[in-house]
Structure 1
Amino acid sequence: MDLSPPTATQTTALQQIEQLLAVARSGKMELPVLMDRAGALQAAGLGEAAALLYQNWIVATPSPFRHVACFNWGALLGNLKKHEQAEAAYRLALSMAPTFAQAHLNLGHQLEHLGRHEEALAEWQGVIDQELPKLPEHPDSLDLVLHAMNNSARMLETQKRYAEAQALMRRSLELKPTQGDVAQHYVHIRQKQCDWPVYQPVGEVTHNQLLVSTSLLAMLSETDDPALQLMAAQRFVHEKVVKYTEQPFHKRFGAKREGKIKIGYLSGDLCMHAVGLLTAELFELHDKERFEVHAFCWSRDDGTPLRARILGSMDQHTRLHGVDDLTAAKLIAEAGIDVLVDLQGLTSGARPNILAYRGAPIQVSYLGLPATSALPGVDWIIADRFVMPPEYLPYCTERPIYLPHSYQVSDRKREVGAMPTRAANGLPEDAFVFCSFNNNHKYSEEMFSSWMRIVHAVPGSVLWLLADNEWAKANMLRVAAEHGVSAERLIFAPRAQPQDYLARFQLADLFLDSFPYNGGTTASDCLWMGTPILTRSGRSYISRMAGSLLSAVGLPDLITFSLPEYEQRAIQIGSNPARAASYKRYLREQGHQSHLFDMPATVRSMEDEFERLALEHRQRR
């Protein structure tokens, strides 16, 4: 704590604030003057003083506009993250003006921050009920209704109340079709529910408008067309990413780069997450004689051994939670990072603006987004020649750093649970078990229909699936019935702890990969546990991931390149269980010794490329 006496400037500022408070307490300050002075204080970074000014004015001034002052007071308190006090301010405003819709909306946000979700939803529903009947005669009500609907839909989606969320999104788009963000969520929530066809027009919103509004993550599940994927990435960058054209931060703030090469990993997923599960051994295997390894992360502290293991393998860890993007980029530059590896891309929780400021001279995309990000701060992407063939390169803004066998690292120390039984998992003992444990949003209508034809063609076979939610399960069962596949032939697995999830792969005979969004971590887990995967490879990085893994593990004959070939191969293997057993025997006896799981060699190859790029840059300076 700084106990030094205030400077003359600080003393003058304190005196001015006290004078303002005295006028506010007198009851003689006009509301416009109050708002002007409070705004000036807030602009000067004195939010606490601005809130105190409102508080004193409200107590002392019997104005008919006190509810407006209370609203502004609540907004200030909310910005200061004083959510309980903000709630009280909004409730005071509403005690004076019960139909003050904006106060109900903001009160809902404070209740959300306080974890009182049902109360927040009730506030927003009240606004909908109050303002919707006023349309179209009162067009100002439209923004209030849309605000309430869209935030309710967002909250319901996070609670996995997908049907309610989707209904609100549809109503919102019917009222105002030109809401790109709402259309984006509408597409993805249909994917999560396997609500096919995903591009279901609503109101005046056409198929093409939904396509253009599709997020990159959702686009990866919809098509292997690299041009459409690039379009989705570029749209996000255009709308959301800062346009920084000044001197890169690594030049403005960077320390002199000498000695060991410094590698920084940028991520919000260095915890119990697919990225964390894949990368733990990568960090441990870095050659600390040649490299200094830093983590720059805003990952949740989930208390897991995995999180502790990841951070324990770092030379330095800089926590970026609560640190703004500009400051984060400056910290990276000041640390003298040579190579910054972004493990997030444009996935959930990403902070692409950190990369836009270019805190490191070499910035590389890896794992989190197996596609082009179109981010102006990212020049390289780690790949192999299978996932990024020459014909794919024109659709990527990054240049490839090719690893010799497969792009993917994994963890050979992953914990495996006890061997389960088929009976305990609801599987028939003598059936051929196809499985697919990818997330439901990766299931396309085309591929699921293909799986139904495969199951129908292999007598007695079953398909073992994850069901992320009740709507996805219901929609899958509906499509199964349309293909003449009875409900008992689809067996739905619940979520499980990582070690138990790994163990149950051993019960399946053949994993059916999704397309165009292949399995990544899931495919690695499956092969590590000795279960073969049948994949279909397409035109994009993400649609060729499992093919890369199968090539490196020594099973290229399980890679197909068209839907008819995929179906034919699956039916052949399902009709000949001995063939599946031979694949399992090969993986059990030789899989762990293959190139795919030779992590020391993979890490050395990656390090050699990082060192080459870093030294080239150092020599140019």
Structure 2
Amino acid sequence: MSPELQLAQRLAQAGHFQEMQGVCAQFLQARAQDVSALLDVGGLLQGYGFLLMAQQAFEQACRHAPQDLRAAINLANVLRDLGEHGEARRLYDGLASKLPDHPMLRRNLLTGMEYDPDASDEHRVKQARAWGQWAIERAGGERPRPAAVPLNGRPLRVGYVSADFCQHTVGLFVKDVIKAHAPQAVAPFAYSAGPVQDWVTKELRQCCEFRDVRALDDPALAQLIQDDAIDVLVDLSGHTAGSRLSAFAYRPAAVMVSWLGYFATTGLRYMDAVVLDEWHAPPGMASQFVEPIVSLPGGRFCYQPVPWAPTDPALPPFERKGHISFGCFNNTAKLNAQVLDTWAGVLKAVPDARLVLKWRTFNDDTYRRKLTAEFASRGVVPDRLELRGPSFHADLLKEYADIDIALDPFPFTGGLTSCEALWMGVPVVTWPQSRVVSRQTFAFLSAIGLAELAAESADDYVGIASALAQDPARLHTLRSGMRARMQGSPLMDVEGFARRLEGAFVELFVEMNQPA
């Protein structure tokens, strides 16, 4: 990294974002035809949420070196982050025809469609199936199921594969489940493909056989899994960043499962199951999956709060502010025209309410102006919006003291974000639709007995949110009783969840390895 970009990074780390942007702007002008430099500065800007300036850098690189497709790939990624999903998908599709064997591009195309409200269920499945066939051919062609070793009273050897065994949504959801495995039932292994190692990683190292596999290519990773004699291999990444799903195309274990970290079909027909639940997989969902669906009683997620979560939820903020505060702390890539239309409808139905949004993109004044203009075009004046930048996780959780009601985006709904809002006593209004990723918050609400907060249409969403805003007694009751409600539900029953998951894995292993 050049000295100028090192300076920009130091400024960003210190929170001096205006100065950081100034350094980057000078760099863009001085190195206007240096494609590698433009990619570097664009990546730095994107990482800190300055998406429009990053877009400028990548577009500049595309103009000066149209044959260098790295710039176009990065541009597609930043368009996705900006919520320009149609443009991103068109760019991904064009690039895929030019770079059919580019693993990251294929992965980004699939994940990007989950954000895109206009990507049909049929197209999403078709693209995933194409990836699965590509992965099998890339791994050398068809492979038989490996022979299984009968259990005969021994523990099932379960291998979890992820790039996110750290303070990440996946790491936080899976950590306590792996810790809770009964040693007589399961011998857990963790294959860690990610660069970040922190307190979550440390806890996992202490409760399972932990393998750092960052340096291994797919054949070497598959061989290690075979050498470890894994019975059930569980992918926790799908097509998200750092995924090692392509190693599953080598079929290194007798049974292979998709769970937790992905929200659609992997497309790989070697996978023996995807773990869902009754709320994520209503009748008709099977058509969206290559994998057979295993429905886990009580839900496919198990939540435990981080150690630094506030001891108790704050009192409802409408008491001190005199108005209702709606809020959303989700990734702004999940915002789209229908989300903005619906949220504007909520604000019109509750005329004195405010909307608080929080994400790293709100570091960027240009993006703030862009989103403010989007709401203004829908009749929402700027004074009714509060746009907050990122903060440390402990501070973010405290900021729920400023939120009365959380508004869930769609079709890509909240995961950990929704659980944290609920833990802080904040009810979440959601709209489950046809795809799994749209049903995450609905599943949490159903597990804790609040399915009535799930809408069936945009108008219903506005009605639920506005009715809740006009019922201060109910907001009090929900806020004060939410933690007890969660703690008494399957959503936070770690031991019970671990037993149910173990049972599902054992049943699947036995079923898949019956004599022909």
User: Normalised by the shorter chain, which TM-score bucket?
Assistant: 0.7 to 0.9
Cα pair distance change 1:124/1:232, threshold 3 Å: farther
Rounded to whole Å, the distance in 2 between the matches of 1:541 and 1:343 is 15
1:25-77: CA deviation from partner (whole Å, max 9, x where unpaired): xxxxxxxxxxxxxxxxxxxxxxxxxxxxxxxxxxxxxxxxxxxxxxxxxxxxx
1:432-453: CA deviation from partner (whole Å, max 9, x where unpaired): 1111111111112210222122
Local SS of the residue matching 1:536: coil
The aligned counterpart of 1:439 is 331
Aligned residues: 487
Q: Is the 8 A contact 1:282 1:410 kept in 2?
A: no
Local SS of the residue matching 1:560: coil
Rounded to whole Å, the distance in 2 between the matches of 1:331 and 1:201 is 37
Determine which structure has more spread, i.e. the larger CA radius of gyration: 1
Q: Percent identity?
A: 24
Cα pair distance change 1:200/1:529, threshold 3 Å: same
Pairing 1:272–2:167 present: yes
The Cα of 1:369 is off from its aligned counterpart by 0.9
Q: 288-297 or 587-596: which moved more?
A: 587-596
The structure 2 residue matched to 1:477, chosen from 356, 360, 372, is 372
Q: Is the 8 A contact 2:173 2:304 kept in 1?
A: yes
Cα pair distance change 1:366/1:422, threshold 3 Å: same
The structure 2 residue matched to 1:244, chosen from 140, 149, 171, is 140
Pairing 1:448–2:340 present: yes
1:553-584: CA deviation from partner (whole Å, max 9, x where unpaired): 10111111211111121122123333333333
Aligned 1:383-398 pairs, distance under 5 A: 383-398=276-291
Aligned 1:119-518 pairs, distance under 5 A: 129=33, 153-154=42-43, 156-158=45-47, 160-171=49-60, 185-194=74-83, 198-200=85-87, 215-223=109-117, 225-234=120-129, 236-237=131-132, 242-247=138-143, 250-251=146-147, 259-302=154-197, 304-314=198-208, 316-411=209-304, 414-417=307-310, 429-469=321-361, 470=364, 471-518=366-413
Rounded to whole Å, the distance in 2 between the matches of 1:339 and 1:402 is 17
Cα pair distance change 1:420/1:585, threshold 3 Å: closer
Rounded to whole Å, the distance in 2 between the matches of 1:128 and 1:240 is 38
Rounded to whole Å, the distance in 2 between the matches of 1:305 and 1:342 is 22
Cα pair distance change 1:325/1:208, threshold 3 Å: closer
Cα pair distance change 1:566/1:350, threshold 3 Å: same
Q: Is the 8 A contact 2:318 2:404 kept in 1?
A: no
The aligned counterpart of 1:612 is 507
Amino acid paired to 1:217: T
Local SS of the residue matching 1:321: coil
Amino acid paired to 2:113: M
Rounded to whole Å, the distance in 1 between the matches of 2:53 and 2:130 is 28
1:400-443: CA deviation from partner (whole Å, max 9, x where unpaired): 111112111222564313668799x9996222111111111111
Q: 605-614 or 455-464: which moved more?
A: 455-464
Q: 162-171 or 560-569: which moved more?
A: 162-171
Q: Which runs of 5+ in 2 are unaligned?
A: 10-22, 98-105
The aligned counterpart of 1:60 is none
Q: Is the 8 A contact 1:418 1:503 kept in 2?
A: no
Rounded to whole Å, the distance in 1 between the matches of 2:288 and 2:189 is 31
Cα pair distance change 1:236/1:476, threshold 3 Å: farther
Taking only aligned residues, the RMSD between alpha carbons, in angstroms, comes to 3.8
1:354-381: CA deviation from partner (whole Å, max 9, x where unpaired): 1111111111111111111213442311
Rounded to whole Å, the distance in 1 between the matches of 2:24 and 2:478 is 54
Question: What TM-score results when the alignment is normalised by the length of structure 1?
Answer: 0.69
1:116-135: CA deviation from partner (whole Å, max 9, x where unpaired): 999999999999749xxxxx
Cα pair distance change 1:450/1:271, threshold 3 Å: same
Q: 427-436 or 519-528: which moved more?
A: 427-436
The aligned counterpart of 2:15 is none
Q: 228-237 or 542-551: which moved more?
A: 228-237
1:462-482: CA deviation from partner (whole Å, max 9, x where unpaired): 111113221442222111222
Rounded to whole Å, the distance in 2 between the matches of 1:234 and 1:568 is 39
Amino acid paired to 2:393: P
Q: Which runs of 5+ in 1 are unaligned?
A: 1-107, 131-144
Q: 206-215 or 544-553: which moved more?
A: 206-215
Q: 237-246 or 587-596: which moved more?
A: 237-246
Q: Is the 8 A contact 2:130 2:267 kept in 1?
A: no
Rounded to whole Å, the distance in 2 between the matches of 1:230 and 1:514 is 22
Rounded to whole Å, the distance in 2 between the matches of 1:546 and 1:337 is 33
Question: What TM-score results when the alignment is normalised by the length of structure 2?
Answer: 0.82
Cα pair distance change 1:201/1:298, threshold 3 Å: closer
Amino acid paired to 1:486: V
Amino acid paired to 1:166: Q
1:298-352: CA deviation from partner (whole Å, max 9, x where unpaired): 23353x33221122121x1111021221111111111111111111110011122
Rounded to whole Å, the distance in 2 between the matches of 1:117 and 1:353 is 36
Amino acid paired to 2:301: Q
Amino acid paired to 1:375: L
Amino acid paired to 1:216: L
Amino acid paired to 2:205: L
1:141-167: CA deviation from partner (whole Å, max 9, x where unpaired): xxxx7x776676456534644323312
Local SS of the residue matching 2:257: strand
Rounded to whole Å, the distance in 2 between the matches of 1:447 and 1:211 is 29
Rounded to whole Å, the distance in 2 between the matches of 1:115 and 1:323 is 30
Q: Is the 8 A contact 2:49 2:360 kept in 1?
A: no
Rounded to whole Å, the distance in 1 between the matches of 2:330 and 2:254 is 36
Q: Is the 8 A contact 1:343 1:366 kept in 2?
A: yes
1:567-603: CA deviation from partner (whole Å, max 9, x where unpaired): 1211221233333333334424433202222222222
Cα pair distance change 1:207/1:619, threshold 3 Å: closer
Pairing 1:593–2:488 present: yes
The aligned counterpart of 2:429 is 534
The Cα of 1:292 is off from its aligned counterpart by 0.6
The Cα of 1:248 is off from its aligned counterpart by 5.1
Cα pair distance change 1:116/1:237, threshold 3 Å: farther
1:471-515: CA deviation from partner (whole Å, max 9, x where unpaired): 442222111222332323212333333333334334421111110
Amino acid paired to 1:453: G
Cα pair distance change 1:405/1:476, threshold 3 Å: same
The aligned counterpart of 2:16 is none
